[in-house]
Structure 1
Amino acid sequence: MNKRIAFATCVQLGLSCIEEIYRVGGNLDLLITLKDEKAKNKSGRIYLDDFAAKHNVPLLKIDNINNQEVLDALKEHQIDWLFIIGWSQIAKKEVLEAPNNGCIGMHPTLLPVGRGRAAIPWAIIKGLDETGVTMFKLDEGVDTGDIIGQGVIQLNESTTATELYEKVDDMHISLIAKYWEDIVTNNINLVKQHEADATKWPGRKPKDGEILTSMTMDEADKLVRAVTRPYPGAFLNKEDKTLRIWSAKTSVHEGEIKLSDGYLTPIDYEIEG
């Protein structure tokens, strides 16, 4: 018997995943999103009204994923799995256990490596040659749940956050398509994460994008690529102005910004202040 599935999202990535479910011939039994006035200034905020109406899916608008009305709706619609993708609130134990089988999330690293935050910038800063996206069963830990499946993304010494962000989005959609049939037919193979291999990456703030003259060319180059759009950008404070750098090149012999072992020359940049 096919499973009854719900999906909670309020951003474009989530809607893209929902559209992929229907593209591969699936359907959903409940959609959950934020109330219209909430997070309306959030980057990538979308509304599910048109999709819900077109496909005749019940749509629940909420303030918080942990509210009683969510628990009630999951029970009323006899939901087996709840996808939570592109959602900033952490689901608590009651929500995780409300669907008959549990909740499914995604994380943009190859778990158990890179639990935590800022996965895209860190993958570039750390100079990884591959990263990816993990679909996993949510538990009360941070990115610690059993793995359903993973997709690998290759990186090289010129990969930017803009490019990686797009590849991560595409991989979310690919994983939905790849594992949808297994999920609805109860044919998934949950794999425990190897705790011995686990790493946790900390959050990053805009101020962490500052270029320091003590950096090597390699460090500065990685930082510029890691925090370019859609992130706040790398920057250099110069006298009373800030140079916001979106792309740059390095050179041993000449350039605009002196580093410990060479120079950095901004290519795409803005002057602020």
Structure 2
Amino acid sequence: MKKKIAFATCVQLGLSCIEEIYRIGGSLDLLITLKDEKAKNKSGRIYLDEIATEHNAPILKIDNINDQEVLSVLKEHQIDWLFIIGWSQIARKDVLETPTYGCIGMHPTLLPVGRGRAAIPWAIIKGLDETGVTMFKLDEGVDTGDIIGQGVIKLDQDTTATELYQKVDDMHITLIAKYWNDIVNNNITLTKQNDADATEWPGRKPEDGEILSGMTMDEAGKLVRAVTHPYPGAFYKDGDKTIRVWSAKTDKNDGGIKLSDGYLIPIDYEIEGL
């Protein structure tokens, strides 16, 4: 019997997965997203009205994934699996247990490394040479559930958040295509995470993008690359002006923003507060 699948998202990574499901001949029985007025400034924020109309899929717009309304609609549609991707609210036990088989998420690291928030900026700030995307069954922890599959993404010293976001988006699509049939046929293999290898990365705020004079060229360069588009950008205070830096180069001798061991020279930037 055909499994009934629902999908909750409000960001581009999730929409890309939905588009891939339809592209490979799959279908969705329910789409869930935030109400239009919520999270308008969230990085990658999208709306599902168009794809819902195109594929005649029911759409539910909510305030919170844990609302009673969500449980009622999942039961009403007799949902077997619920994808929750690119969603900042943590689904509680009631939600996780309402679909017949549970809920599936994706996280843009190679779990158990990098549980938590801001995975794309942190991978660059930490100077990793590889990261990836993990598809996993959600449990009550944060990014602690059993792994369905992973894909590796290589990084180098020039990788920007813009490029990594696109690679993460592409890997979401790859993993959906790879495991879709196993999911709908209930043929997935789950692998427990090794908690001994786990690391947790904290959330980041726009003010964490400030370039400080005590930083090294390496630290400042990584920060600029890590929080460029689609994130709020790195910035430097100059009196009552704020210089928002989207790309930059570093130099030991040339002028620019003074650092502990050289200079950061903005290439693409905006001056705010003029």
Do these two structures clear the TM 0.5 threshold for a shared fold by scoring above it?
yes
Q: Following the alignment from structure 1 to structure 2, what is the Cα–Cα distance between the partners of residues 117 and 89?
A: 12
TM-score, normalised to structure 1, is: 0.94
- Within 5 Å, which residues of 2 pair with 1:54-73? 54-73=54-73
Distance 1:201 1:56, change over 3 A: same
Which consecutive residues of structure 1, in runs of 5 or more, have no partner in the other structure?
none
Q: Following the alignment from structure 2 to structure 1, what is the Cα–Cα distance between the partners of residues 54 and 230?
A: 31
Q: CA deviation at 1:40?
A: 4.7
Q: Following the alignment from structure 1 to structure 2, what is the Cα–Cα distance between the partners of residues 157 and 45?
A: 28
2:270 counterpart SS class: strand
Q: CA deviation at 1:59?
A: 2.3
Q: Following the alignment from structure 2 to structure 1, what is the Cα–Cα distance between the partners of residues 124 and 45?
A: 26
Look up the match of 1:81: 81
Number of aligned positions between the proteins: 273
Distance 1:25 1:96, change over 3 A: same
Look up the match of 2:167: 167
Q: Following the alignment from structure 1 to structure 2, what is the Cα–Cα distance between the partners of residues 209 and 90?
A: 25
Q: Following the alignment from structure 2 to structure 1, what is the Cα–Cα distance between the partners of residues 112 and 243?
A: 37
Q: Following the alignment from structure 2 to structure 1, what is the Cα–Cα distance between the partners of residues 73 and 202?
A: 34
Q: Following the alignment from structure 1 to structure 2, what is the Cα–Cα distance between the partners of residues 191 and 199?
A: 18
Q: CA deviation at 1:43?
A: 4.9
Q: Following the alignment from structure 1 to structure 2, what is the Cα–Cα distance between the partners of residues 212 and 249?
A: 16
Q: Deviations over 1:57-116 (max 9, x none)?
A: 222232322122221222222211000112232211100000011000111111100011
Confirm or deny that 1:53 pairs with 2:53: yes
Q: Following the alignment from structure 2 to structure 1, what is the Cα–Cα distance between the partners of residues 256 and 97?
A: 56
Q: Following the alignment from structure 1 to structure 2, what is the Cα–Cα distance between the partners of residues 98 and 150?
A: 26
Q: Following the alignment from structure 1 to structure 2, what is the Cα–Cα distance between the partners of residues 107 and 164?
A: 13
Look up the match of 1:219: 219
Q: Following the alignment from structure 2 to structure 1, what is the Cα–Cα distance between the partners of residues 224 and 44?
A: 23
Which consecutive residues of structure 2, in runs of 5 or more, have no partner in the other structure?
none
Confirm or deny that 1:246 pairs with 2:246: yes
1:183 counterpart SS class: helix
Q: CA deviation at 1:158?
A: 0.4
Percent of matched pairs sharing the same residue: 82
Q: CA deviation at 1:2?
A: 3.3
- Within 5 Å, which residues of 2 pair with 1:9-48? 9-40=9-40, 42-48=42-48
TM-score, normalised to structure 2, is: 0.94
Q: Following the alignment from structure 2 to structure 1, what is the Cα–Cα distance between the partners of residues 213 and 46?
A: 41
- Within 5 Å, which residues of 2 pair with 1:109-148? 109-148=109-148
Q: Following the alignment from structure 1 to structure 2, what is the Cα–Cα distance between the partners of residues 11 and 126?
A: 25
Q: Following the alignment from structure 2 to structure 1, what is the Cα–Cα distance between the partners of residues 107 and 177?
A: 16
Q: Which amino acid aligns with 2:210?
A: E
Distance 1:233 1:42, change over 3 A: closer
Q: CA deviation at 1:27?
A: 0.9
Q: Following the alignment from structure 1 to structure 2, what is the Cα–Cα distance between the partners of residues 64 and 131?
A: 30
Distance 1:260 1:38, change over 3 A: closer
Q: CA deviation at 1:156?
A: 0.3
1:120 counterpart SS class: helix
Distance 1:271 1:61, change over 3 A: closer
